[in-house]
Copies of this chain bind each other. A is one copy, B any other.
Amino acid sequence: MTLMKDKIVSLADKLIRVKGFNAFSYKDIADPLSVKNAAVHYHFPSKADLGIAVVMGEMQRFQHNTRLWRQLPEDEQLAHLFDVFRRHCHAGNVCLMGSLAPDYETLTPPMQEKINEMAEAIVEWVTAVLENGRKNKRLHFKGAAGDRALLVISNLQSSLLLARVMGTDTFDRISRQLLEDLRS
């Protein structure tokens, strides 16, 4: 767990969320950390390696968070997820999926694969929470839980994108509506 390695991943994560994967360079990482671009290549030989590390970092945070929330009622677990996105919104970030999906066709197959894994992990978790929440009468919706999960994720992702163009209250308007729909 080198310090520098973590700093590189963390900065790359931020750059992907703010500028997009194809719009940042190794220089954008090396300069703020006061190292040379070759130092970044030492830790991550190719840009795809760095991209994969960023996605894996996000997956670990997601797993860590959802474990912390496991004991809570399902509507509160969902509210916590919304809150993660809200914080990103106010930091001017979009979510990793929202940033990487448009660039998907320009990425290497191994990186595409990691993005697929991340997407499936999130869908799986939201589906389970919705399904259990409906059983416990804490959440109410029509149709299959899997389909509804896609709708929820799609909204969270896209409201961050819209918020960037139309202002941060866009996120709150969408997510409030969405959470109210599920609670009543």
Contact = CB atoms under 8 A, between A and B. Distances in A.
A98 B102 contact: yes
A103 B100 CA distance: 11
A137 interface: no
A14 to B, nearest CB: 12
Contact of A106 (B23, B94, B143, B147): B23
Interface residues of A, number: 49
A180 interface: yes
Nearest to A19: B106
Interface string A19-37: 1101100000000000000
6 contacts: A23-B106, A119-B166, A154-B155, A154-B159, A154-B161, A157-B162
